[in-house]
Amino acid sequence: MKTVICIVCPKGCHLNIDEEHGYEVSGFGCERGIAYGVEEVRRPMRMITSTVRIDNAALPRCPVKLDKPIDKHLIMAAMKELDQVRLTSPVSEGQIVVENVCGSGASFISTRSL
């Protein structure tokens, strides 16, 4: 039995996941907690948000996010890839900044127009 705190929404339900019995989840406040609990035990995924350098913009940094979560263990490698990027203004919200981050299929996209 593993206990994880659900982070899908701010409620933070304490989930119990029974690995021996088909990953049965208890303690969830809604359906989404079930999927999260199972995945968190079998294959933890995370979103990353960060910034990249940008030239000729009102600010020297442009905020970015992944368009979908990646494996938790890839976080630091993904940050390294982001470190190589330098954008030039104009950049628009939603524009792809790095494609296929660490071969995960996820992309970093800009989260504001600058």
Partner 1 sequence: MYDLIVIGAGPAGLAAAITAAKNGLKKILIAERDREAGGILNQCIHNGFGLHYFKEELTGPEYASRFIRMLADLNIELMLNAMVLEITPERHVHVINRDVGYKVLEAKSIVLAMGCRERTRGAIAIPGSRPAGVLTAGAAQRYVNMEGYMVGRRVLVLGSGDIGLIMARRLTLEGAEVLACLEIMPYSSGLMRNVVQCLDDYDIPLLLSHTIVEIRGDKRVEEAVVARVDQNLKPIAGTEMTFTCDTILLSVGLIPENELTDKAGIEIDPRTKGAIVRENMETSCHGIFACGNVVHVHDLVDFVTEESEIAGRGAAEFVLNEKSETADEMTLLCGDGVSYVVPQIVRRERVAKTQTVYFRVNRLFDKSRVVIRSGENEIAAFKRPYMAPGEMEHVKIPKALLDKAEGAIVISVEEDVS
- Footprint on this chain of partner 1 (rule: CB under 8 A): 4-7, 9-10, 12-14, 29, 46-51, 53, 58-61, 63, 65, 72, 75-76, 79, 93, 111-113
| Tokens coding 75 | 């976080």
Query: Six-digit token pair at 79?
Result: 């940050």
The pair of structure tokens assigned to 42 is 């079998």
Distance from C-alpha of 27 to C-alpha of 39, rounded to nearest angstrom: 15
Nearer to ligand SF4, 32 or 42 (CB): 32
The reply on whether position 47 binds ligand SF4 by CB under 6 A is: no
Residue 95's SS3 state is coil
Judged by CB under 6 A, the stretch of 30-38, 39-47, 93-101, 102-110 that binds ligand SF4 is 30-38
Nearest partner of 39 among 20, 29, 25, 49, judged by Cα: 25
108: contact with ligand SF4 by CB under 6 A: no
Give the H or E element holding residue 76.
helix 75-83
Q: DSSP letter string over 50-76?
A: EEEEEESSSSSEEEEEESS-EEGGGHH
Q: Which does 46 bind (CB under 5 to 8 A by kind): partner 1, ligand SF4, none?
A: partner 1
Stretch that binds ligand SF4, among 32-40, 44-52, 73-81, 103-111 (CB under 6 A): 32-40
Residues that bind ligand SF4 (CB under 6 A): 6, 8-9, 11-13, 28-30, 32-33, 36
